[in-house]
Amino acid sequence: LVKALNELENSGELVRTRKNRYGLPEKMNLVRGKIEMHKKGFAFLLPDDDKMDDIYIHSSDLNSAMHGDRVIVRIERGHSRNDRPEGAVIRILERANTQIVGTFEAVADVGIVIPDDKRILNEILVPKDKTMGAVTGHKVIVDITEFPERGITAKGEVVRILGHKNDPGVDIVSIIYKHGIHIDFPEEVMEEVKRIPDHVREEDMEGRRDLRSETIVTIDGEDAKDLDDAIRVKRLDNGNILLGVYIADVSYYVREGTALDAEAFERATSVYLVDRVIPMLPHRLSNGICSLNKGEDRLALGIEMEIDPEGKVVSHEIFEAVIRSTERMTYTDVNKILIDKDETLRKKYAPLVEQFELMEELAAILRKKRQKRGAIDFDFKEPQIIVDEEGKPVDILIRERFVAERLIEEFMLCANETVAEHFHWLDVPFIYRIHEDPDEGKLERFFRFAATLGYVVKGTAQEIHPLELQKLLTRVKGKPEEMVISKLMLRSLKQAKYDPSSIGHFGLSTKFYTHFTAPIRRYPDLTVHRLIRKYLIEGDMSPKTIKYWKENMAEIA
Secondary structure of 53-78 in the HEC alphabet? CCEEECHHHCCCCCCCCEEEEEEEEC
Please indicate, yes or no, if residue 151 is contained in any of the structural domains: yes
Residue 89 burial (CB count, 10 A): 19
Higher pLDDT, 24 or 556: 556
Cα dihedral sign for 39, 44, 49, 53? negative
Residue 326 and residue 206 share a domain: yes
Q: What is the pTM of this model?
A: 0.85
Residue 333 and residue 284 share a domain: yes
Residue 196 and residue 330 share a domain: yes
Please indicate, yes or no, if residue 123 is contained in any of the structural domains: yes
Residue 373 and residue 268 share a domain: yes
364 φ, ψ to 5°? -65, -40
Please indicate, yes or no, if residue 71 is contained in any of the structural domains: yes
Element (H, E) at 328: strand 327-330
Determine how β-strand 241-248 pairs with β-strand 124-127: unpaired
Q: Tell whether the model's pLDDT for residue 139 goes beyond 80.
A: yes
Residue 397 and residue 250 share a domain: yes
Plot region of 82 (φ>0 → left; ψ -120 to 50 → alpha; else → beta): alpha
Q: Tell whether the model's pLDDT for residue 303 goes beyond 90.
A: yes
Please indicate, yes or no, if residue 511 is contained in any of the structural domains: yes
Determine how β-strand 154-164 pairs with β-strand 124-127: parallel
Cα dihedral sign for 481, 485, 486, 487? positive
Which of 408, 432, 449 delimits the end of a domain? 408
Q: What is the DSSP letter of 221?
A: -
**Domain extent for 395:** 187-408
3-class secondary-structure state, position 411: helix
Instruction: Convert the pLDDT of each residue in 381-402 to its tens digit.
Output: 788 888 887 778 889 988 888 9
What percent of the chain is predicted at pLDDT more than 90?
Answer: 72
Residue 397 and residue 257 share a domain: yes
Instruction: Convert the pLDDT of each residue in 83-113 to its tens digit.
Output: 678 999 988 999 988 899 999 999 988 999 9
Residue 74 and residue 57 share a domain: yes
Residue 238 and residue 305 share a domain: yes
Residue 456 and residue 387 share a domain: no
Which of 76, 94, 112 delimits the end of a domain? 94
Please indicate, yes or no, if residue 413 is contained in any of the structural domains: no
CA–CA gap between residue 16 and residue 23 (Å, rounded): 7
Please indicate, yes or no, if residue 279 is contained in any of the structural domains: yes
Q: Tell whether the model's pLDDT for residue 283 goes beyond 80.
A: yes
CATH code: domain of residue 88: 2.40.50.140
Residue 299 and residue 400 share a domain: yes
Please indicate, yes or no, if residue 72 is contained in any of the structural domains: yes
CB 550 within 8 A of CB 456: no
Q: Domains in the chain: how many in total?
A: 4
Name the E strands within 424-541: 432-434, 497-499
CB 330 within 8 A of CB 222: yes
Tell me the residue type at 410.
E
Average pLDDT over residues 537-550: 95
3-class secondary-structure state, position 484: helix
Closest CA to 381 of 447, 275, 521, 478: 478
Which of 94, 124, 147 delimits the end of a domain? 94
Residue 336 and residue 204 share a domain: yes
Residue 402 and residue 261 share a domain: yes
